Structure formats: structure tokens, C-alpha cells
Amino acid sequence: MATSKKTKSDAKHGSNGHRWRNGSAQTSKPVANSDLRSYSIPDYRLEHPDLTVRQAIEKGKDGAEHVRYEVEGNLNAPVPPIRDSKYLDKKQCIEIYRYMLLNRKMEIGLENLYKQGKVVGGVYFGLGQEACSCASAYALDKDDWFAPMIRNQGALLVRGFGASDMMMQYMAKADSPTKGRDGTSHFGDIEKRNMVSPISMLGDLIPVLSGVALGARLQGRNIAALTWIGDGGQSTGVTYEGINFAAVQNLGLVLFVESNLWAYSTPSEMQYRVKDLAERAIGYGIPGVIVDGTDACQVYDAARDAVERAHRGEGPTLIEAKMMRMKGHAIHDAAAYVPKPMFEFWKKRDPIARFENYLVKEKKWLTPKENAELISDVERVIEEEREIAVNFPMPTPESAEGGVFCEDGCHEIKPKYSIPKVKKGTGGFKQTEAAVHLK
Ligand SMILES: Cc1ncc(C[n+]2csc(CCOP(=O)(O)OP(=O)(O)O)c2C)c(N)n1
Ligand SMILES: [Mg+2]
């Protein structure tokens, strides 16, 4: 139970006001048992890392104060096994593994293109988050919708984009999804792949995806609308508004909170005080689930359950995926502020290495030879896609004047599923009684 006593650990971690995430520094009056409510947040993880990051302030030789982060906890904990999926069979697991490899190798390719000076702007990576991006998107049905964030390039591969699309986009080539008008990930595909373009303002995709689910419902369909938000981005007001809207309207929003421990250089300890972000679901009145974001089977199962809830018209689900952002914010950020032992801890939990071990050694669903062939096939595909992308021309200067203003039918919005049904007689409004005034 909570206590008002100052504990030893409070004093020790006082430098940034951080206290352990168990509310131990709060005071509360005793409450009668009948007043207590209980909620449950299913936690699929087979491991609960107990690492804590704290801020330390040091004085340099020049007398100036420098901020640095330290990590505490059991850094030598054994790596947990992959949890068997309730749903995935051998073929599906291998397919997800292949997408994760494509995701990883495409991003290595992008990093190389950047270093060769071929990329216009920056490059973002989802290193360490491939299971979260790929296995969640894999759980969608064809008619479902999704909207990726910067770390979810793997989801685009799952939904049918080629690595060359992303490569051309970063190089601003003429045949890129935005025809060279954007150098990063701001593109969608509402025609074929049901993909809403990423919005840079963190959290804004959540109400948009809720709106997509509402639009589909007005056309007679309950669909799942999947998007992701970071552990930093979930602090925004629009996140609350979007989830709450989906909650009260019972819309099929499937929201992955990517708890990757950092938001730029801010550790999650300085973003929120709840122990787990899935607890926020209680406040919204919707189900919340915790998964190990480095375990593709757990990610898939939680996503699939949420997708099926959405299809049944039962409303949104918040899934917190715990993992670590294994690179800096983008290519310009060396992440020097991250304590090295944290990288070492999470490197041992590499989602691809663990899934490989699961498929080859534990399940024996792939022989070492088949695995080596699969990896070299992925490398061949990425190399071919890279060649296509690199050799494609840049847009012609004249093309800049096209696609700026609307031309006839240039972005006609048609109902995707059917014409919305509007009840007769709902066009006007009834004269109601005057408002009630309490005296
Ligand atoms: C509303 C808003 N505030 C700030 C930013 C600038 N910004 C872009 S990414 C980022 C950090 C995001 O961290 P997190 O949400 O944890 O996602 P991660 O990068 O870890 O995947 C910030 C502050 C923004 N894009 N939108
Ligand atoms: Mg983050």
C-alpha cells in the first residue's frame, strides 16, 4: 500500500525528481474494501525487465554542469524464450520472420544510401522494433486500414510496398510515392493499400484513424484501423482526444504504444509516472494489453485479438509493446546519451535473432540451410530493389508545377465499402423544448 514515508530509494533518486514507478511516494487515506475497484491489464510477457534510468548531474573540469543518464537493475537477466502464438502456424511465422528481415536489411540499405550522399534529408530506423511493426500489420485483414509512424517501415512492406518505394522516397526520385516531393515517409495509399499518410505531429494520426473507422461504419462496415504512437508522443493532448473518441463511439482503433524507452534524448522515466502505459486504457474505459515488443508471436496475438474486437464492433484496444529504440532518433543522432549497458541488454533481445532461434532451433520449422537461403533471398531482393531505386531518374524540373492545385477528379473521395446509409427524415431537426434552467 502507498506510504508517505520517504524511503531510501526516494532520496537516492532525487536528482531528477524521479521515484520508482509504483506510486510509493504518494499519500493516500485508507479506503474501505467495498470502495476499491480492480482492473486487469493482461501482460503476455515472459520477462519483466526491471531497469531504471536516472539522471545524474556532473561537474566538468570547467566547472560546468553536465547531464548524463545511468541505468540500474538486473542487466544480466536471462533472455526469455519466444511465447508460442495462439494463432500463427509455421508458414505464417516464417512469413513474418521474412518481413522482419526485409525491414532490417532495407534499413541497412537506406543507411548506406545516406552515407553515399544519395538520400535527400534524413533517415529513420526501426532497429529493434521490427517485430512490433511487422507482426502488428500482419494481423490486419485486407479491408482494414493502417497509418504508420517513422519506426514502422516494416508495416509498409507487409502491406505491399516494395523496398524500392521507400528507397526512392528517401532519394526523392521521380517514381517515388510522392514523385520526389517529400524526402521521408509522408505518403499514403488510400486506393489499394488502405494506408493513411503519416502525420508528423505526434498523436494526430489517432483521431484520424478513429475517423477512418467511423467512416467505414457509416458505410456499413466495422473495420480495424491500426496505428502506432511512441512513449513520448502518447503524452500529447490529441492522443487522449483520439482514443476517447474511439472509445465512446466503439470504433475499431487498434493503437500500439511503442514503449521504446526514449523520445529523442528523453528517457521514459521523464515522460510519465504510471508503471505501464497500458494502464492508461483504464482511464479511457477500453482494454489495455502489454506485450514484449521484441516477440513477434506476442505482438501478433495481441494485435489479432484487437482486430477481431474491432471487426465485432466492440471498440478500440490499446496495446503497449515494450522494447528499446536501438538507434538514435534518426541518422543524425548517435544516441550518445543512452547508457551503453542498456544497448547491451536489449541487443541480447534482438527480435530477429530471437525469432530465428525460435524457428530454427526450438521449433525446427526451418533447417539451418533453409534459413541461410531465406536470408540470402532477402538480401538479393533488397539489392535488386536498391538497383531499381538508385537508377531511377530524379523528377524533371517542370514536374514541380503539377499536382499543386486540384485538377478535375485528382483526388475524388469515393466510399470504399458502400454508399453511407442515411435514415430518411434525419436531414432536419425537431423543435425541442426550451433548455432547463435550474434555480
Ligand atoms: C506534437 C509534436 N511535438 C513534438 C514533435 C517533435 N518530435 C518528433 S519525434 C519526437 C520524439 C518522439 O518520441 P516517441 O514518441 O517516444 O517516439 P520514438 O521516436 O521513440 O519512436 C519529437 C519530440 C512532433 N513531431 N510533434
Ligand atoms: Mg519512444
B/e letters for 139-161, b = 16+ CB within 10 Å, e = fewer, are bbeeebbbbbbbbbbbbbbbbeb
**What is the model's pLDDT at position 424?**
66
Ligand 1 test: best mutation among 329, 331, 342, most atoms within 8 Å of CB? 329
Regarding the beta carbon of 204 and ligand 1, being less than 6 Å apart is answered no
| C-alpha 56 – ligand 1 centre gap (Å) | 23
| C-alpha 346 – ligand 2 centre gap (Å) | 14
**What is the model's pLDDT at position 95?**
98
Query: What are the sequence ranges of the domains in the chain?
Result: 90-397
Regarding the beta carbon of 237 and ligand 1, being less than 6 Å apart is answered no
Nearest ligand 1 atom to the CA of 233 is 15
**What is the model's pLDDT at position 430?**
61
pLDDT of residue 192 exceeding 60, the answer is yes
DSSP state of 396: P
Residue type, 187: F
Of all protein residues, whose CA lies closest to atom 19 belonging to ligand 1?
Answer: 263
Question: Among 328, 334, 300, 305, which residue's Cα sits nearest to residue 317?
Answer: 305
Residues 147-187 pLDDT 10s: 999 999 999 999 999 999 999 999 999 999 999 998 888 99
**What is the model's pLDDT at position 21?**
60
**What is the model's pLDDT at position 425?**
63
**What is the model's pLDDT at position 10?**
39
Residue type, 436: V
Residues 332-352 pLDDT 10s: 999 999 999 999 999 999 999
Residue type, 192: K
Q: Would you place residue 265 in the very low, low, confident or very high pLDDT band (cuts 50, 70, 90)?
A: very high
Q: pTM for the complete prediction?
A: 0.91
Alpha-carbon dihedral of residues 255, 101, 125, 328, nearest 10 degrees?
Answer: 110
Mean pLDDT of 49-69: 92
Ligand nearest to the CA of 202: 1
| C-alpha 260 – ligand 1 centre gap (Å) | 12
Residues 273-288 pLDDT 10s: 999 999 999 999 999 9
Residues 114-154 pLDDT 10s: 999 999 989 999 999 999 999 999 999 999 999 999 999 99
Q: In angstroms, how far is CA 317 from the centroid of its own chain?
A: 14
| C-alpha 333 – ligand 1 centre gap (Å) | 14
Cβ count within 10 A of residue 97: 28
The residue that leads in pLDDT, 192 or 184, is 192
**What is the model's pLDDT at position 18?**
46
Regarding the beta carbon of 327 and ligand 1, being less than 6 Å apart is answered no
% of the chain at pLDDT higher than 70: 90
**What is the model's pLDDT at position 55?**
93
- The pLDDT mean for the chain works out to 91
Regarding the beta carbon of 194 and ligand 1, being less than 6 Å apart is answered no
Q: Would you place residue 322 in the very low, low, confident or very high pLDDT band (cuts 50, 70, 90)?
A: very high
pLDDT of residue 355 exceeding 60, the answer is yes
The class (CATH top level) of 90-397 is alpha beta
Regarding the beta carbon of 260 and ligand 1, being less than 6 Å apart is answered yes
CA distance 258 to 322: 7
| C-alpha 17 – ligand 2 centre gap (Å) | 20
Residues 226-254 pLDDT 10s: 999 999 999 999 999 999 999 999 999 99
| C-alpha 22 – ligand 2 centre gap (Å) | 21
**What is the model's pLDDT at position 3?**
37
Nearest ligand 1 atom to the CA of 268 is 16
Ligand nearest to the CA of 228: 1
